[in-house]
Amino acid sequence: MFVRNEDFRSFLRLYPIVSIITGVNLFLWIFTTFLPGGSIFLQHFIGYNAAISQGEIWRLVTPIFLHGSFTHVLFNSFSLVLFGPALERMIGKGKFITAYLVAGTAANIATFFISSPFLFHLGASGAIYGLFGIYLYMVLYRKDLIDANNAQLIITILVIGLILTFLRPNINITGHIFGFISGAAIAPLILGKKRSFSYYDHDEISFDPNRWKKRKLQLNGKTIIWGIFIVLIILGLVNRFI
């Protein structure tokens, strides 16, 4: 479910929304970091609560696509590429982008009302935690949509995410929490009456854990969990000291 084995062209074709969002994130980080006019652009579109209170409401959405450092954009892009494709194929392009934007915007709205009026914030974390919220809803209430191995993986990643939320510096904790809550809240509408994972019999989108036995490269469930664990911890610690 969360192991990507497509080539680049197939990935773009199968997961266009994930691909577009990832591309936009990377492009805007390069633009705002290295190119002329990037810093001015960032000033006008970064999340800034004082400016939002003055009517610049676009700042509730635009920070979802902006990042402050290479490790920041790498961490969020890695998470999106890892966890976004299965959900995009399952619920469709329209519902996926809707869920992503709703969760990210809700996280920024909560940040506006709860955090300091002088807070600057940016990043896709609120939207990505919204995806986690949808997955957790599946684990708790729609077990027909996710098998036990992947459910265990989701719980593990959520625990890792919670730990990193409080370990990494300059984290918008409010955004993470309310992005997650928003994703879980809209999950019933997003998932609707989707059929059980056994229905998705196409090899590219099947949620059946036995699908990996068909591959030349055998992937054990625990190997996947610990592999993701190690990568996320390394990225989190690198970001802490940069």
Annotation says 121 is catalytic:
no
72 noted as active-site residue = no
Tokens linked to 49 = 């609560």
Residue 110: strand, helix, or coil:
helix
- Residue 178 CA, chain-centre distance (Å), reads 13
- Tokens 């509730």 label which residue? 60
Angle 70-91/125-141 helices, nearest 10 degrees? 40
**Burial code of 80-109, b = ≥16 C-beta within 10 A, e = fewer?**
bbbbbbbbbbbbeeebbbebbebbbbbbbb
Question: 7-32 burial, b for 16+ CB within 10 Å, e for fewer?
Answer: eeeebeebbebbbebbeebeebbebb
Residues 6 or more apart in contact with residue 39 via CB below 8 angstroms? 32
Catalytic residue among 176, 182, 198, 202: 176
Is residue 154 a contact partner of residue 139, using CB atoms and an 8 Å limit? yes
Catalytic residue among 79, 125, 182, 206: 125
φ, ψ for residue 241, nearest 5 deg? -105, 5
- Strands, E, within the chain: which ranges? 47-48, 120-121
Q: Which residues are catalytic?
A: 125, 176
